[in-house]
Amino acid sequence: MSLNDTPSGERKHISFFGLRNVGKSSLVNAVTGQNLSLVSNILGTTTDPVKKAMEILPIGAVVIIDTPGIDDEGTLGKMRVKRAMDILSETDIAILVVDAQKGLNETDKNLTKEFENKNIPYIVAYNKCDLLPKIPKQTQNEIYVSADKNINIYELKEMIFM
Ligand SMILES: Nc1nc2c(ncn2[C@@H]2O[C@H](COP(=O)(O)OP(=O)(O)O)[C@@H](O)[C@H]2O)c(=O)[nH]1
Ligand SMILES: [Mg+2]
């Protein structure tokens, strides 16, 4: 059996969560090296979770899941948020993507509490760090990355792997 035949249930499910426009889809594309998810500066571009089974060095056989923003609004928006939250039940490792210039807001903090309640290990990825004057060092579960400028993408993957 080749690695690509690994059944979905045996693969680690790595899900990317966060507010709209923080760069979740961009980061998914950077981490996977593929154009899996549509990227734009329009709020609510990702309307449904996007899943892809793949091999990623140095992690191995995984399923990568991109999700809609957890601050989406309106009737459809609320349905998208529910779709995103439903992904929690199949998540082994969560990546909370945050805009590095804005930092964690209340919605992000509530989500980290949700991860903790559900015993889901998580990493906070401060994206768009290319827009900061100086890139802060990574800590045990926080890292500054840039999906656009390919900064600390490999390091993020190493953190997921550990
Ligand atoms: N400067 C900068 N812009 C980024 C970065 N990552 C994403 N963006 C931009 O942020 C906007 C939203 O990106 P997207 O991936 O669609 O965000 P999502 O809504 O969280 O999935 C797009 O205009 C991206 O080009 C980054 O690392 N640096
Ligand atoms: Mg998106």
Tell me the per-residue pLDDT of 107-132, one tens digit each, with 9 for 90 and over: 999 999 999 999 999 999 999 999 99
Look up the pTM and report it: 0.94
Position 44 scores a pLDDT of 87
- For a ligand 1 pocket test, name from 26, 71, 80 the mutation site with the most ligand atoms within 8 angstroms of its C-beta: 26
Ligand nearest 17 Cα, by number?
1
Cα–Cα distance for residue pair 98/108, rounded to 1 Å: 8
**Residue 20 contacts residue 72 (beta carbons within 8 Å):** yes
Report how far ligand 2's centroid is from the alpha carbon of 69 (Å): 7
φ, ψ at 121 (rounded to 5°): -65, 140
Cα–Cα distance for residue pair 132/4, rounded to 1 Å: 39
- Beta strands 93-99; 142-144: pairing state: unpaired
Report how far ligand 1's centroid is from the alpha carbon of 115 (Å): 24
In the chain, what are the domains?
3-161 (3.40.50.300)
Atom 23 in ligand 1: residue holding the nearest Cα: 41
Indicate whether 1 pLDDT > 70.
no
Report whether residue 67 contacts ligand 1, using a CB cutoff of 6 Å: no
Nearest in space to 84 (alpha carbons), one of 105, 106, 64, 69: 69
φ, ψ at 58 (rounded to 5°): -95, 25
Report whether residue 47 contacts ligand 1, using a CB cutoff of 6 Å: no
pLDDT digits 0-9 by tens, 59-89: 889 999 999 999 999 999 999 999 999 999 9
Report how far ligand 2's centroid is from the alpha carbon of 6 (Å): 27
Cα–Cα distance for residue pair 133/11, rounded to 1 Å: 38
Cα–Cα distance for residue pair 23/39, rounded to 1 Å: 8
Report how far ligand 1's centroid is from the alpha carbon of 128 (Å): 7
Report whether residue 127 contacts ligand 1, using a CB cutoff of 6 Å: yes
Q: Which residue has the higher pLDDT, 11 or 149?
A: 149
Report how far ligand 1's centroid is from the alpha carbon of 147 (Å): 7
